[in-house]
């Protein structure tokens, strides 16, 4: 099915629903695609005669699959639109199918424009779920212009070659020693700045929606983030009571790490408690008014991207090591959830 710039393979999903005889199906869809969900529901209800229930909770990534509460509504099957599966967590509670929303934008112009920004000849190509099907276009353009495109698979949380998530840059890190720079295909700075912070290699972003290329903006954002992280670490040094934030979203759960962090606090004679939450926000945490610092073990982007929203410092477990003197600032690493 084609919907305003996206190709979403709903026909295959409709076949599955009919074959399995599902009567009640939930749809999970990210905020940016919610305006199309009425069309999706109309199509699927017409094709399958099943009842579609749309989950209105925010859906930030493939990590964020629905929990058992939907079973209270007799949901038998979940359609997760707009992300590719994190293989480790697929079908964790209710049978779930991931249906990618592939962008129909031609990436040619943006990639051609990026050529003059590339540094060196060995170029690592990465992208997000929306443009995975266009990576061969980028490879061909680079080859024709005497560059050497390099793509590889990521870890167990990554389903497709060349794909990165905001918390998992393994498809880039696995080729870090083989590339001179990275070419990111997609919009926004969220993914490219994460890749830059993780890899410390130049990242050039080619945006097929605007046919623009970003390099300086990503570099500047990285500097801003690092300054903020330095400040957050400095502000955490005198903290004595810590909240260890654990995500309830299946793909964000790192309980082993949470327990290790807890033990570290015990060893340093610092008070700590583990706090579990589905959607993190300053309002949901405001009751913990005697906590001096939060350590986020959930989505690493909460500490990095939402930092200014919180009244007290919120840091990652890697940053905590710097706070406690176990790691030097010079060895700063971007926190990733790796599989």
- By the criterion CB under 6 A, which residues form the site for ligand SF4? 60-64, 165-167, 251-252, 299, 301, 337
Smallest CA-to-CA distance from 248 within 274, 225, 227 is with 274
Let me know how long the chain is.
Answer: 339
Residue pair 181/203 in contact by the 8 Å Cβ criterion:
yes
Which residue's CB comes closest to ligand SF4?
61
CB of 335 to ligand SF4, least distance (A): 10
Q: With respect to ligand SF4, which residue has the nearer C-beta, 114 or 163?
A: 163
| DSSP run (H or E) holding 123 | strand 122-127
Token output for 134: 């266009």
Distance CA 268, CA 281 (A): 28
CB of 57 to ligand SF4, least distance (A): 13
How far is CA 61 from each of CA 158, 205, 256, 311, rounded to the nearest angstrom? 12, 21, 22, 26
Residue corresponding to tokens 């305006």: 35
Q: With respect to ligand SF4, which residue has the nearer C-beta, 201 or 301?
A: 301
Phi first, then psi, for residue 178 (nearest 5°) are -105, -5
Q: Which residues contact 273 (CB under 8 A, 6 or more apart)?
A: 242, 243, 244, 291
CB of 36 to ligand SF4, least distance (A): 20
Cα 55 from chain centre? 19
Distance CA 110, CA 155 (A): 28
Q: With respect to ligand SF4, which residue has the nearer C-beta, 172 or 251?
A: 251
CB of 17 to ligand SF4, least distance (A): 26
CB of 14 to ligand SF4, least distance (A): 27
Distance CA 70, CA 54 (A): 10
CB of 302 to ligand SF4, least distance (A): 8
What one-character-per-residue DSSP string does 212-274 give? EEESHHHHHHHHHHHHHHHHHHHHHTT--EEEEEEE-SGGG--HHHHHHHHHHHHHTT-EEEE
Q: With respect to ligand SF4, which residue has the nearer C-beta, 27 or 299?
A: 299
Q: With respect to ligand SF4, which residue has the nearer C-beta, 63 or 261?
A: 63
CB of 87 to ligand SF4, least distance (A): 13
Q: With respect to ligand SF4, which residue has the nearer C-beta, 215 or 250?
A: 250
Residue pair 164/191 in contact by the 8 Å Cβ criterion:
yes
CB of 108 to ligand SF4, least distance (A): 28
Q: With respect to ligand SF4, which residue has the nearer C-beta, 110 or 298?
A: 298
Q: With respect to ligand SF4, which residue has the nearer C-beta, 114 or 128?
A: 128
DSSP character at residue 80: E
């Amino acid at each position: 099915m084609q919907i305003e710039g996206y190709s979403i393979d709903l026909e295959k999903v409709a076949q599955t629903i009919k074959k399995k005889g599902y009567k009640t199906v939930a749809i999970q869809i990210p905020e940016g695609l919610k305006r199309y969900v009425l069309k999706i529901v109309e199509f699927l209800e017409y094709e399958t005669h099943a009842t579609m229930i749309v989950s209105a909770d925010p859906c930030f990534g493939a990590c964020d699959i629905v929990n058992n509460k939907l079973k209270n509504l007799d949901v038998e099957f979940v359609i997760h639109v707009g992300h590719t599966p994190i293989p480790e967590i697929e079908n964790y509670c209710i049978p779930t199918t991931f249906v990618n929303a592939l962008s129909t934008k031609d990436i040619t112009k943006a990639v051609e424009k990026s050529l003059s920004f590339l540094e060196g000849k060995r170029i690592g190509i990465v992208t997000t779920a929306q443009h995975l099907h266009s990576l061969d276009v980028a490879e061909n353009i680079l080859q024709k212009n005497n560059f050497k495109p390099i793509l590889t698979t990521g870890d167990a949380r990554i389903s497709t070659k060349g794909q990165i998530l905001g918390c998992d840059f393994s498809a880039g890190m696995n080729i870090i020693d083989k590339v001179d720079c990275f070419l990111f295909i997609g919009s926004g700075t969220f993914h490219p700045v994460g890749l830059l912070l993780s890899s410390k290699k130049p990242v050039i972003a080619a945006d097929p929606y605007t046919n623009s290329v970003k390099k300086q903006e990503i570099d500047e954002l990285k500097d801003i983030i690092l300054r903020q992280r330095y400040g957050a670490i400095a502000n955490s040094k005198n903290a004595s009571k810590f909240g260890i934030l654990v995500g309830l979203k299946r793909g964000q759960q790192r309980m082993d790490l949470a327990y290790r962090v807890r033990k570290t606090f015990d060893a340093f004679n610092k008070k700590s408690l583990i706090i579990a939450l589905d959607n993190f926000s300053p309002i949901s945490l405001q009751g913990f008014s005697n906590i001096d610092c939060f350590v986020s073990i959930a989505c690493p982007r909460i500490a990095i991207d939402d930092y200014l929203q919180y009244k007290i410092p919120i840091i990652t477990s890697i940053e905590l090591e710097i706070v406690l003197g176990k790691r030097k600032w010079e060895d700063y690493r971007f926190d990733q959830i790796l599989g």
